Structure 1
Amino acid sequence: MSTTQSLITILKAELKAAGLTYASLARELKLAESSVKRMFAKGEMPLSRIDEICRVLKTDFAELSRQVADTQALRRELTLEQEAAVVADPKLLLCAICAMSQWTFDQIIATYTISEPECIARFVQLDRLGILELRPMNRYRLRLAKTFRWHPDGPVMQYFRGKVVGDYFDGGFDGEGEMLMLVHGQIGRSLANLFNERLQRVAADFAQQHLADQKLPPEQKRQYTLIIGMRSWLFGAFRALKRDPDSPVPSIASRAGGR
């Protein structure tokens, strides 16, 4: 659905929720009912008319825009070709990761050795790839769903496994605010998704805190990278020790040497 169609659909829904018919809206706008019907049917109305309708509905254009944005389809994944394009250019990958972490345009160019024209060019590419929607003044809106994920064996994850994971885990995790934890156990299959949802909320909280702390002076901030993962997995050295489920468990007597 196009942005214009979405706007018309939302306006119709708002009119219905407010109990307003085309006839009553026409009276408020001092127009003929036929003109209002035609305006909605064709989806053609100037911004000044939309403002008038917002006044009648006791809302504003910003709220309508938010609702339109919420109706736009969000990507859950990219194609393998699109992922390959992202990792082919380190500066494009940098801008993609920063955008997904809610960094502003100004933050990116202030933190990294990437010029304003270079950053704009990468934002344009990310717009074409469907990762974000570029807006005036170098602002953007992410077009990725909360369930977005890179292909498990696609170009991006291959890049991270080959070049990022080792670098990340090479540290001691003993600095200020650092932690490394590995928890192993068995849980019901139905609960795994609940834990994933909780972990997604932790990631969202981290991203929101990043936004909230932007007004802090530089000396009060420190750059952190949060990695969250959960999979059905057993360390290779442990797998070699795993008992065959069909083999009998030795009795206490046999473990004690038959005594």
Structure 2
Amino acid sequence: MSASHDIVIALKIELKAAGITYAELARQLGLAESSVKRIFSRADMPLSRIDDVLRVLNIDFAELAQRIADSQPLLHQLTLAQESAVVADRKLLLIAISCLSHWTFDQIVATYTFTVAECQLHMAALDRLGIIELRPMNRYRLRLAKTFRWLPDGPVMAFFRQHVTADYFNAGFDDEGELLMLVHGQIGTSLANSFVERLQRLGQDFAQQHLADQRLPADKKRAYTLVVGMRSWLFAAFEDLKRQP
């Protein structure tokens, strides 16, 4: 769906919410009602006319744009086909992860060995997959919700288990701002979900701080990766020692 179509739909919603009919809008714009109906039916409106309608609604374009963004459905998970397409190309997966971290186009090109054209090509692929919405000047809007998760047993998590897990945990976790903690115990099953929710909020806090610190100079930031997990599990090395009921 085009951006102009989204704008016209949003204007229709705002007019209805304000109780302004096409007849009333036509009167305030100095147009015939038939002309107003024709403009909206085409779903293609020049910027000057959009400004006129916004003045009648007493809102500015930034407010309208925000309402359009807020109304767009965000994905909480990808389909198996979408994940398979992402993980099939290592470069595409890297750019997808960068977009999930809200990196700008310039940051991606400056950090990795992508040419501008190559990065544009991969971001266009992410747009077709519905993961981002490309915008002018190499900008984009992430179409994933804050609560987004890769499929637990999907292709991306399989890739991470095979290629990333051992590399991640093969460290002392003793540097500044690092921690590895393993806590084992038994708790009421009714409390397990509440712990999961608190861990999810921790992940969201980390993501929000990442966004807030984008304004910091490069020498004041450092890349960190937060891994959070909780499951009902017994060490495989001790499985044979467990007393069977």
Q: Normalised by the size of structure 1, how large is the TM-score?
A: 0.82
Cα deviation, 1:156-184, whole Å, max 9, x if unaligned, reads 11111011001001111110000112233
1:83 shift after superposition = 2.4
Asked whether the equivalents of residues 3 and 68 of structure 1 are also in contact (C-alpha less than 8 Å), the reply is no
Stretch moving more, 206-215 or 132-141: 206-215
Partner of 1:23: 23
Partner of 1:48: 48
Alignment of 1:169-184 (within 5 A): 169-184=169-184
Alignment of 1:1-259 (within 5 A): 6-244=6-244, 247=245
Asked whether the equivalents of residues 8 and 44 of structure 2 are also in contact (C-alpha less than 8 Å), the reply is no
1:28 shift after superposition = 1.6
Identity of aligned residues (%): 67
Query: Could you tell me which amino acid in structure 2 is paired with residue 184 of structure 1?
Result: H
Quote the Cα distance in structure 2 between the aligned partners of 1:197 and 1:92. Answer: 30
Asked whether the equivalents of residues 6 and 71 of structure 1 are also in contact (C-alpha less than 8 Å), the reply is no
Quote the Cα distance in structure 1 between the aligned partners of 2:191 and 2:35. Answer: 56
Cα deviation, 1:81-129, whole Å, max 9, x if unaligned, reads 4323322332221111111111111112222233322222221221122
Could you say if the C-alpha distance between residues 2 and 200 of structure 1 is closer, same or farther in structure 2, counting changes exceeding 3 Å?
Answer: farther
1:21 shift after superposition = 2.8
Stretch moving more, 47-56 or 35-44: 35-44
- Gaps spanning 5+ residues in structure 2: where? none
Could you say if the C-alpha distance between residues 214 and 75 of structure 1 is closer, same or farther in structure 2, counting changes exceeding 3 Å?
Answer: closer
Bigger radius of gyration among the two:
1
SS of aligned partner of 1:137: coil
Query: Could you tell me which amino acid in structure 1 is paired with residue 125 of structure 2?
Result: Q
Could you say if the C-alpha distance between residues 18 and 229 of structure 1 is closer, same or farther in structure 2, counting changes exceeding 3 Å?
Answer: same
Stretch moving more, 15-24 or 97-106: 15-24
Quote the Cα distance in structure 1 between the aligned partners of 2:220 and 2:2. Answer: 44
Asked whether the equivalents of residues 76 and 145 of structure 2 are also in contact (C-alpha less than 8 Å), the reply is yes
Could you say if the C-alpha distance between residues 144 and 214 of structure 1 is closer, same or farther in structure 2, counting changes exceeding 3 Å?
Answer: closer
Partner of 1:257: none
Quote the Cα distance in structure 2 between the aligned partners of 1:42 and 1:189. Answer: 56
1:213 shift after superposition = 2.2
Cα deviation, 1:179-214, whole Å, max 9, x if unaligned, reads 112233444545444433333332232223223223
Cα root mean square deviation, aligned? 2.5
Asked whether the equivalents of residues 75 and 143 of structure 2 are also in contact (C-alpha less than 8 Å), the reply is yes
Asked whether the equivalents of residues 54 and 61 of structure 1 are also in contact (C-alpha less than 8 Å), the reply is yes
Query: Could you tell me which amino acid in structure 1 is paired with residue 103 of structure 2?
Result: W
Cα deviation, 1:54-92, whole Å, max 9, x if unaligned, reads 111121222222222232333333343432332233222
Asked whether the equivalents of residues 102 and 207 of structure 1 are also in contact (C-alpha less than 8 Å), the reply is no
SS of aligned partner of 1:67: helix
Asked whether the equivalents of residues 132 and 143 of structure 1 are also in contact (C-alpha less than 8 Å), the reply is yes
Asked whether the equivalents of residues 5 and 44 of structure 2 are also in contact (C-alpha less than 8 Å), the reply is no
Quote the Cα distance in structure 1 between the aligned partners of 2:234 and 2:202. Answer: 24
Quote the Cα distance in structure 1 between the aligned partners of 2:190 and 2:28. Answer: 54
SS of aligned partner of 1:86: helix
Asked whether the equivalents of residues 8 and 45 of structure 2 are also in contact (C-alpha less than 8 Å), the reply is no
SS of aligned partner of 2:137: helix
Could you say if the C-alpha distance between residues 19 and 231 of structure 1 is closer, same or farther in structure 2, counting changes exceeding 3 Å?
Answer: same
Quote the Cα distance in structure 2 between the aligned partners of 1:26 and 1:243. Answer: 81
Runs of 4+ in 1 over 6 A off after TM superposition: none
